[in-house]
Structure 1
Amino acid sequence: MPSLHHLTVLGSGVLGGQIAWHSAFHGKTVVVYDISDQALESYRLTQERYAAIYANDLGADADRIAATRQRLSCTTDLPTAVATADLVIEAVPEAPDVKTEVYKEMAGLLPDRTLVATNTSTLLPSDFAAATGRPDRFCALHFATALWAMNFTEIMAHPGTTRETLTAVTEFAVEIGMIPIPVRKEHGGYIVNSWLVPLLNAAQTLVTNGIATPEDVDRTFLVNGARFGPMGMLDMIGMKTAHDVLAFWGDRTGDAQMTANAVYLKEHFLDNGLSGVQTGKGYYEYPGPAYQRPDFLAVPGLDAVPSIVSQALSD
């Protein structure tokens, strides 16, 4: 099977936008599809942040950034978006009915050669295989947020996925600088989210229930030398994705606390137009979040003791 050079990404949100930019940076021709001009305009603005990150963190020069931009295009027209696609990566909201509807709408528009992958973080590819109209050419390809640094992707088949499809998709992952991680059985949550979602849910529970501040939750994590803590991770993942995951699994498992955590994210962030890094504010403000400051983990002076004691006593 020839190399997958022409990529279409469905969804210009946090991960969809990152997948598109990173793939274009590594030489792929990329079309980004979303349902509104407003969403695409927001993504175009976000590209400025990616350009700065790739220049500062990866040493990309101005010519390579310019070439990345030239390989990227955006559209709200689905037939145009997929007309020349070798691979379509679906990165729409983490809601089964939304994903299913997108696959059904797209099925009759795809060239015969086109492979399809879902970037779902918790759902199974077998949930959507039939809706794609090409279950043999469909699998999961799950990326992590901040993929320029967290450069791995999880590859998961469903029972109808062919070896040829997995081979081509895995080669694509390698070509864009990803470490392919095979998931040996279909598993909701894949590998990373099987431990990440419980971690983030536990951290959010501490905030939702007023047990700790977001900053103090992160301090207990950052003292181990991590680059960011659970609340910073929520900002990076994006509040919409985090809300959708917690709401879905809270409902499915009957977990009242997980549902309450989803409601907290909705009321404190989404209802106020805040999504985390993407909008410049979540638990922290960006750029330059507080947890990156040198004094974030500093031992306080004795003059801070009364305030700390008052918090412990809930004064």
Structure 2
Amino acid sequence: MQNITVLGTGVLGSQIAFQAAYHGKSVLAYDLNDQILSKLASRWDYLKPLYLRDLPDATPEKLSAAVRRIRLTSDLAVALKEADLVVEAVPEVLEIKRAIWAKVGTLAPPKTVFATNSSTLLPGSIADATDRPEKFLALHFANEVWRQNTAEVMGHPGTDPQCLEAVAAFAEEIGMVAIRLKKEQPGYIVNSLLIPMLAEAAKLYVRDVADTATIDLTWRQSTGAPLGPFEIYDIIGMETPYQFNSRSQDPELKRFADILKRDFIDQGRLGRSVGKGFYDYG
């Protein structure tokens, strides 16, 4: 899988595109319009020093070469024309994901394998929107993919095992640790463990039991974890937690979603990628 198309250039989509290009893949990054795509130059400038900081083999020359391997387009047909693999990273809303995959299914060549980066939705809830459910699966990256380099590979009951193995091999080729799941699981492995902790932190915040710094300090100090829950929220960004919690049946988590929208998203405090979220980053 050499020609990779990434659908959606938000926090994770841009990271997936850059990681694949850094490891020698030809990447076509698609988003809805050229105005969105124009922001990617600053995104690459943001990622380069992080690679230099975290990866021993990173050099300015390798990072510049990665950027040259990434092409941008707002034309979906152009984005898909030569794709061996499509990785979708659009907003975490089932209707949006199904709509984009229905379009992709009519435009992509027969060889193309489809993968969703959804962090909460099952591939089985999306697969029938495409024209090739047997070639559809989930490939879930954690945020800061170059450092938190797991890639969860999860099919649905109709996924061709050969496609699953091909995608797992691709993940390993771009520096990831491929985590193969034997069956569909809401939240996969990492979010099945992470989301309950983040939800309980959100409830402590909503109830005004303690401020975010105190909650984070308590978690770090008592468990030895490098980050507290609100530091993790800042890495994830506010959009995905907002979408996820706004659908919750728990009134406290719905209130947390309202807070995320009003006090963070609407104020441009989208998380660490923009330098401000629950915390300010210099």
> Quick check: TM above 0.5?
yes
Secondary structure, counterpart of 1:108 in structure 2: helix
Counterpart Cα distance in 2 of 1:62 and 1:149: 18
1:11 corresponds to which residue?
A: 8
Q: Which residue, 2, 14, 18 being the options, matches 1:21?
A: 18
User: How far off its partner does 1:13 sit?
Assistant: 0.8
Contact (CA 8 Å) 2:168, 2:180: kept in 1 or not? no
2:268 corresponds to which residue?
A: 273
Contact (CA 8 Å) 2:142, 2:148: kept in 1 or not? yes
User: How far off its partner does 1:75 sit?
Assistant: 1.3
Max Rg structure: 1
1:307 corresponds to which residue?
A: none
Farther-moved stretch of structure 1 (266-275 vs 116-125): 266-275
1:240 corresponds to which residue?
A: 239
| 2:43 paired with 1:43 | no
Query: How do 1:62-141 and structure 2 match up within 5 A?
Result: 62-141=60-139
Q: Which residue identity does 2:215 align to in structure 1?
A: V
| 2:253 paired with 1:258 | yes
% identical equivalent positions: 43
Q: Which residue identity does 1:259 align to in structure 2?
A: K
Farther-moved stretch of structure 1 (221-230 vs 145-154): 221-230
2:194 corresponds to which residue?
A: 196
1:312 corresponds to which residue?
A: none
Secondary structure, counterpart of 1:113 in structure 2: coil
- Count of aligned positions: 280
Flag the 1:227–1:40 CA change in 2: closer, same or farther, 3 A: farther
Deviations 1:102-154 (A, max 9, x none): 01122111011000000000110011111121101110010100111111111
1:206 corresponds to which residue?
A: 204
User: How far off its partner does 1:275 sit?
Assistant: 0.8
Moved over 2 A (4+): 36-39, 41-44, 224-227
1:306 corresponds to which residue?
A: none
Q: Which runs of 5+ in 2 are unaligned?
A: none
Counterpart Cα distance in 2 of 1:105 and 1:30: 20
User: How far off its partner does 1:227 sit?
Assistant: 2.4
1:297 corresponds to which residue?
A: none
Contact (CA 8 Å) 2:29, 2:70: kept in 1 or not? yes
| 2:226 paired with 1:231 | no
RMSD, aligned α-carbons: 1.1
User: How far off its partner does 1:39 sit?
Assistant: 2.2
Query: How do 1:154-193 and structure 2 match up within 5 A?
Result: 154-193=152-191
Q: Which runs of 5+ in 1 are unaligned?
A: 288-315
Q: Which residue identity does 1:281 align to in structure 2?
A: K
Counterpart Cα distance in 1 of 2:17 and 2:150: 15
Deviations 1:196-229 (A, max 9, x none): 1111111111112211111111101222433221
